Amino acid sequence: MKMSTKKAIKKSKIVKASLKEVWQKWTTHEGLLSFFGPDNKIEFKIGGAFEIYFLLDNPPGLRGSEGCKILSYLPEQMLSFSWNAPPQFPEIRNGEYHTWVVVNFRSVDERSTEVELNHLGWLEGGDWDQVYDYFDNAWAAVLTWLEESCAR
């Protein structure tokens, strides 16, 4: 079995919304639609689907985070889920190993919430550095989309 590195992507942003509102954005179908992809399948339970679809015209299995699952959560505090590589990295995407994402939520005040995202479980070699760079940029964009959705 391959061992993951200590490498991690860490992003955080304070958004103008209550903790409850931000939590619902990350944990419901409608909430995810407001900022994270044009469609999704979320089954909010341990082992439930956490699939975000970005490429709706692609064939099934190549639309987004198919096969990703909720790993754990603490209501209104933390959500973790498995994550796969985008379709342009088929060797990693189709492998048995997935990285994981931990999102922490902290109320700053009744109208502001800090969201901290950590993407962990990176391997070495092959296309892993390219996938890391891809998500280093992508997660910054996702948090910006979250911020923009809270400002509406």
**CATH assignment of the domain containing 76:** 3.30.530.20
Residue 4, in any domain of the structure: no
List of residues 6+ apart from 114 with CB closer than 8 A? 12, 13, 14, 105, 106, 107, 108
Residue 90, in any domain of the structure: yes
pLDDT per residue as tens digits for the range 43-101: 999 999 999 999 999 999 999 999 999 999 999 999 999 999 999 999 999 988 999 99
Percentage with pLDDT > 90 across the chain: 91
- pTM (2 decimals)? 0.95
H helix or E strand, kind and range, residue 10: strand 9-15
Residue 125, in any domain of the structure: yes
Contact 35, 17 (CB under 8 A): no
Q: How many domains does the chain fold into? A: 1
Residue 1, in any domain of the structure: no
Tell me whether strands 70-74 and 78-83 are parallel, antiparallel or unpaired: antiparallel
The pLDDT, as a whole number, for residue 4 is: 76
Average pLDDT over residues 37-42: 97
65, amino acid identity: S
CA dist., res. 67 & res. 49, Å (int)? 7
What pLDDT band is residue 5 in, cutting at 50, 70 and 90?
A: confident
Residue 35, in any domain of the structure: yes
Residue 67, in any domain of the structure: yes
The residue to which tokens 């064939």 are assigned: 59
Domain that holds residue 14: 9-151
Residue 2, in any domain of the structure: no
Residue 92, in any domain of the structure: yes
